[in-house]
Structure 1
Amino acid sequence: MPHTTAFARNQWYVAAHAHEVGRELLGRTVLGEPLVLYRTEEDGTAVALHDRCVHRRYPLSEAPTRLDGDRIVCGYHGFTYDTTGTCVYVPGQKRVPRTARVASYPVAERDSLVWVWIGDPALADPDAVPRARHLDSPGWVTVRGMEPIDCDYGLLVDNLLDLSHETYLHGGYIGTPEVAETPITTEVDEDAGIVRVGRHMADAECPPFYARSTGLAGRISRRQDIEYHAPCLYLLHSRIAPAGADGDDSRAFRTEITYAITPSADGRVYDFWAVSRDWATDDAEVTEFLRANNHTVVMQDVDALNLLQRSLGAERAGYQELSINIDTGGLAARRILARLAEEGDKPVEPVS
């Protein structure tokens, strides 16, 4: 595994959960680009600007920088920018230098996620944002969070596409022996940049994560169907039912697990996570249980990936990793990410 996965710049990435972006300035770094995010006062449209004042590079997301209406007033010397990044005021003179502007990034808000486009803005198509409609659809309840990880984002992609690690890393929460023992099926759509990995367990132990939240006891049928939309969105369609009732939807519990995998910088990634359910939607205890337990699971991954990155950084030159069948989806994702990065480095052909 290379220590650094190249960034695919001409792609949409999640910069925040929608509830994180408001009238307080929010700083995030995506693909090495520092961003400041906020919402306009009148209609609440999300705005993303470069998070450095042109004057002395003061971070616009940091106090005492503030909003004046929809304009950002730099907290260092008062340079003021509108929502397009154009500087409209400088101190001590009436003329604003022509070059006084910061980059403005295309934003698309979909399914309670705020997506940004760091590449060529002419190529930003909001209709190309992959969807996770369950995140804010009626009849679904979602718990969510975000954790930064000090690892290459390709390591997080690997982690999520190979769920056999649940048996060992997440035992006592979501892992049971059957997850590692059950063979996977893998489908790859190279052109669309989608990898699908399925694991169907007809007779499995019910892990505590589901036993305590659904009330199911005894053996279950368990389906894990992954849908990874490179480079950013990961969907895990989870379905459990009593063993022998796999075809009976009236006895099944569906859970949608969503991850947005956003490279922050070299060796650093944002892990946006969410768990959505369409059962026990009025039960606050179930909601809190799923929030707390999934946060624990996420932090187990965070600790493991931080450790793995440090280990890889100390690895001797020429080390060759070993891949097996469970790595098929992750290896396909690596190929797609490498292609997307390479395509993003090519000059855009002019339209005739």
Structure 2
Amino acid sequence: MTSFARNQWYVAAYGAEIGRELFGRTVCGEPILLWRTEAGEVTAMAGRCVHRRFPLSEKPSRLDGDRVVCGYHGFTYGADGVCVSVPGQQRVPRTARLASYAVKEQDSFVWVWIGDREAADESRIPRAPWLNSPAYTVVCGMEPLAARYGLLVDNLLDLSHETYLHGGYIGTPEVAETPIATEVDEGAGIVRVSRHMDDAACPPFYSESTGIDGRISRRQDIEYHAPCLYLLHSRIAPTGTPGPDADGTDPHAFHVEVVYAITPETENTTHDFWAVARDFALDDQKVSDFLAENNRTVVLQDVVALDTLEQVIAREPEGTQELSINIDTGGLAARRILARLLAESAATPAAQPTR
């Protein structure tokens, strides 16, 4: 049985990755072909030719207007995935069509619906509006993870590991020492984990980017929208700085919105999309370069740890127990929600992503 929840939206790419070149990415075990039509719209279809399964993202496959031409035998497909031409005959077999996917470009991401296309509801896509807001400057990237996506969910919902794994970058002793508050909306599939530190050391990630010299008030407010999107609302200000004003504005602090799209590639590999949006030093390229380099370093530290953990789990006997403590409350709630989504997916009859 697959470990992917279907009838869900997943991030397949950044919008900037998709153009007039055929682009392939595997999502939930399904090879998907993405490209932009001449009108600029993103389209998504199955990534293997129906004839001999040649990957359509590989050269010499190509676009001819808004048609995809397989580089192996020339099978040609329209933007809807229907084959319109085959070599050596006029009649096109009725079954010569590729599955097409519901797709939505939003907040710099390209989302694809994995499951029954008739059930695709764009209103269910969680938002990350900072990623294309003029009030923020964004750095972003994507790292391949040789580990199951649930391990990354666990990792991101327990930020106490920053103290130990990311010391010298974003971790300080206060992160591990400060208790968390957890809220769970089972119906909506959202887990919230908050950690507020009134007097904490300022890690280099923030001291170098904001110019703060001294101790800080630091808030980490997490929202995890199962199965794919993780948001970390980070507020940083010198200790003793006033809080938000009565109208909800917060001019006395620096704000960083950290976004992760956690997309399963296969049972044991994951696409780790990351982005850091800030509301300060908007035009300072040195700050952008610093945050991009340092956040990628932090992400790669997680990658190394989780790749190692995946290998350990793969060698352990089935049913090996683990110990959980208070800091795991959010991660355990996320596991319950993912298990429910998976059970609901398994109970739903299999459906093709195209009509």
Q: Shorter-chain-normalised TM-score: which range?
A: over 0.9
Q: Which amino acid aligns with 1:173?
A: Y
C-alpha displacement at 1:318, in angstroms? Answer: 3.8
Q: For 1:141-156, what aligned pairs fall within 5 Å after superposition? A: 141-156=137-152
**2:292 matched to 1:291?**
yes
User: C-alpha separation between the residues in 2 aligned to 1:154 and 1:287?
Assistant: 30
Distance 1:6 1:33 in 2: 13
Equivalent in the alignment of 2:68: 72
Structure 1: distance between partners of 2:267 and 2:348: 23
> Which one of 17, 31, 38 corresponds to residue 28 of structure 2?
31
Match of 1:121 in 2: 117
Q: Of 7, 11, 17, which residue of structure 2 is paired with 1:10?
A: 7
Q: Deviations over 1:236-282 (max 9, x none)?
A: 00000001115153331000000000001110110000000110001
> For residues 129 and 310 of structure 1, what CA distance do their matches in structure 2 show?
32
What are the Cα deviations for residues 259-317 of structure 1, in whole angstroms up to 9, with x where unaligned? Answer: 00000111011000000011000101001110111010000001110000001111234
Q: What residue number does 1:140 align with?
A: 136
Q: Which residue of 1 aligns with 2:169?
A: 173
- 8 Å CA contact 1:238, 1:257 repeated in 2: yes
Structure-1 residue corresponding to 2:215: 219
* Equivalent AA in structure 1 for residue 297 of structure 2: T
Q: Given residue 36 of structure 1, which amino acid in structure 2 is its aligned partner?
A: L
Q: Which residue of 2 aligns with 1:341?
A: 342
1:88 aligns with 2:84: yes
Matches of 1:250 and 1:52 in 2, distance apart? 52
| 1:159 alignment counterpart | 155
C-alpha deviations, 1:33-58, integer Å up to 9, x for none? 000100001x2110111010000000
Give the TM-score taking structure 2 as reference length: 0.95
Aligned length: 345
Partner of 2:324: 323
- In 2, Cα distance between equivalents of 1:216 and 1:281: 16
Q: What corresponds to 1:51 in structure 2? A: 47
- Cα drift, residue 5 of structure 1: 8.1
Distance, in Å, in 1 between the alignment partners of 2:176 and 2:131 is: 28
Residue 341 of structure 1 deviates from its aligned partner by: 1.1
Q: Following TM superposition, where does structure 1 have runs of at least 4 consecutive aligned residues deviating by more than 6 angstroms?
A: none
| Ranges in structure 2 where 5+ consecutive residues have no aligned partner | 245-249, 350-355
1:294 partner amino acid: N
Alpha-carbon distance in 1 for matches of 2:93, 2:43 = 23
| Aligned-partner residue type, residue 288 of structure 1 | D
| Residue aligned with 1:251, SS | coil
Ranges in structure 1 where 5+ consecutive residues have no aligned partner: none
Q: Which amino acid aligns with 2:17?
A: E
**Alpha-carbon distance between aligned partners in 1 of 2:242 and 2:149, rounded to the nearest angstrom:** 35
Using the size of structure 1 for normalisation, the TM-score is 0.96
Equivalent position of 1:306 in the other structure: 307
TM-fit CA distance, 1:6? 1.9
Alignment root-mean-square deviation, CA: 1.3
